[in-house]
Amino acid sequence: MKLFGFEIKRQSEEQEIPTFAEKIEDDGAVNLAYGGLYGTYVDLDGTVRTEAELVTKYRQMAGNPEIDQAIDEITNEAIVVEDGRETVTLILDEELENSLPEKYQSAIQEEFKRVLRLLEFDTKPYEIFRTWYRDGRLYYHKVVVPGQEAEGIQELRYLDPRKIRKARETYRKRSDRTTGQTVALTKTAKEYFLYSNKGFAAGNRALNDPSVEKAGTGDGVFRIAKDSILHCTSGLLDAGNKMVLSYLHKAMRPLNQLRAMEDATVIYRIARAPERRVFYIDVGSLPKAKAEQHLKDMMTKFKNRLVYDASTVKFVMIEDF
């Protein structure tokens, strides 16, 4: 809000406590060098591309019958829909209940119900939870009508997680201590989201698009304010604390083993099919001549095949030569 040449706005960042240890976040944000995107594409090579491909892998896994059944059972246990009862409710902290007046508590509850209506949580709780559990993340765009910000959020639009990524610009600040030592402190400059119509599966080339600063210009990448995006991650990170994982990640190895066993079984059955038709004929103590004649008779018998003749309604023996 601007008034008499002065601007009143929300504080851009919270007060940070000076520390030499970098904070580990579970939001999967890409750490960029302070000052912009240019010159940072080397660090993004593989990180962005791999996460987008990882989400695609999770969705392919969900197409497997066994994985799909497991997700259904987990979702049914997590989401309970009963007549006369709400699927999810907001429980205020006891200290907050005692300190807040009743009208403010009612306002919070009404706003919570409004958010649920925007999410269509009353009709799609199963799909929302299933999507979050499968992908390991959810992104929504808070749609606000320009010039009518006082009316609040008008729509929460779902975003494909392969097309959006959170970015955090950090820098190292030197701090002199009374002991004479210089300690490097990690500071966060700003946070925002990067959105690309093409998605980030193409690698780091999309992040160096010249249209990054021009929102809505074709398939380029552009920045979105942090307050405009609502996102929720699984909280699981990889070994390097850089990539958000889904709860399906643990099932990736067993699923690959199951598929390998199924493929091996099919290959085995096809490759061994001719060999499985081989059988042994016991000639006992027959003389050599009679034994050979018995083998020829058996060979001739099995060389003939029966064919059903529909005109005579009988089986006709056809000899193969």
pLDDT over 70, % of the chain: 67
Mean pLDDT of 279-302: 85
**Pairwise CA distance, residues 300 & 189, whole Å:** 88
Mean pLDDT of 262-281: 74
- Confidence at residue 153, expressed as pLDDT on a 0 to 100 scale: 87
- Angle of helix 47-62 relative to helix 125-135, nearest 10 degrees, comes to 130
Domain range list for the chain: 17-87+122-263, 279-319
**Pairwise CA distance, residues 245 & 251, whole Å:** 12
In Å, the largest CA–CA distance within the chain is 121
- Confidence at residue 41, expressed as pLDDT on a 0 to 100 scale: 38
- Confidence at residue 26, expressed as pLDDT on a 0 to 100 scale: 66
Mean pLDDT of 114-138: 92
Q: Which of 213-217, 228-232, 301-305 has the lowest mean pLDDT?
A: 213-217
Instruction: Provide the residue count of the chain.
Output: 321
- Confidence at residue 295, expressed as pLDDT on a 0 to 100 scale: 87
Top pLDDT among 212 and 158 is at 158
Mean pLDDT of 285-309: 80
**Pairwise CA distance, residues 216 & 16, whole Å:** 34
Top pLDDT among 27 and 34 is at 27
Query: What is the identity of the amino acid at 62?
Result: A
pLDDT in tens, 47-96: 335 678 889 889 999 999 999 999 999 999 999 888 778 888 888 888 77
Query: At 157, is the secondary structure helix, strand, or coil?
Result: strand
Which residue is associated with the tokens 């649920």? 116
Predicted TM-score (pTM) above 0.75: no
Q: Which residues contact 205 (CB under 8 A, 6 or more apart)?
A: 41
pLDDT in tens, 172-229: 776 665 555 666 676 777 888 988 888 776 544 444 444 444 444 445 788 888 889 9
Q: Are 109 and 90 in contact (CB under 8 A)?
A: yes
Q: Which of 38-52, 196-210, 284-298 has the lowest mean pLDDT?
A: 38-52
Q: How confident is the model at residue 128 (pLDDT cuts 50, 70, 90)?
A: very high
Task: Count Cβ neighbours within 10 Å for each residue of 105-114 and write b for 16 or more, e otherwise.
Answer: eeeeeeeeee
- Confidence at residue 281, expressed as pLDDT on a 0 to 100 scale: 82
Q: Which of 182-196, 254-268, 288-302 has the lowest mean pLDDT?
A: 182-196
- Confidence at residue 35, expressed as pLDDT on a 0 to 100 scale: 54
| Range with top average pLDDT, 28-37, 259-268, 296-305 | 259-268
